[in-house]
Structure 1
Amino acid sequence: MSDVQSLTSRIDELEIRLTHQDQIIDDLNETIARQWREIEALTRQLAKLGDRIHLVEEHAGEPASTEPPPPHY
């Protein structure tokens, strides 16, 4: 009877460990998915900022206005 109880106890412990490991895996998976969504959003934002910087650099050498300066210059 002791062997049966010992085996039952070991099986119960393994089942408990498996349940905890399954929960940890699910939690880690959700964390990774959330981080991946955030990385994608940040990548899109960085690309937009890069485009804006590129436009600013293209127009940096152009005069602010096409009007001639006032005569007192």
Structure 2
Amino acid sequence: MDESRLINLEIKISHQDQVIEELHQVVYEQQKAIEKLEVLLNGLTSRLKEALEAEGSEIRGNEKPPHY
């Protein structure tokens, strides 16, 4: 294996290591955002359930409104 070929392989590996690290950082940031959104969604869901229970209503899904 000649020296230039070895150098090219080292350059490729170095570049791949950098790309992998960048992708890892993106995935990490996305996971943090997902966890934050899950906490917000759970809070909103519980608040909605509490409001509906206090009102005596229920979640009905895809029913048509009464004016149709």
For the residue of structure 2 that corresponds to 1:29, the secondary structure is helix
- What displacement does 1:18 show? 0.5
Match for residue 39 of structure 1?
A: 34
**Count of equivalent residues:** 56
Alignment partners' CA distance in 2, 1:45 and 1:30? 23
What percentage of residue pairs aligned between the two structures are identical? 36
Report the TM-score, using the length of structure 2 for normalisation. Answer: 0.79
Query: Aligned AA for 1:13?
Result: N
Which of 33, 43, 60 is the matching residue for 2:55?
60
Alignment partners' CA distance in 2, 1:16 and 1:28? 18
Report the TM-score, using the length of structure 1 for normalisation. Answer: 0.73
Query: Aligned AA for 2:8?
Result: E
Task: Supply the RMSD in Å over aligned alpha carbons.
Answer: 1.0
Alignment partners' CA distance in 2, 1:42 and 1:12? 45
Query: Aligned AA for 1:44?
Result: V
Higher radius of gyration, 1 or 2? 1
In the TM superposition, what are the counterparts of 1:1-73 in structure 2 within 5 Å?
A: 7-61=2-56
For the residue of structure 2 that corresponds to 1:52, the secondary structure is helix
Deviation >4 Å, runs of 4+ = none
Alignment partners' CA distance in 2, 1:30 and 1:24? 10
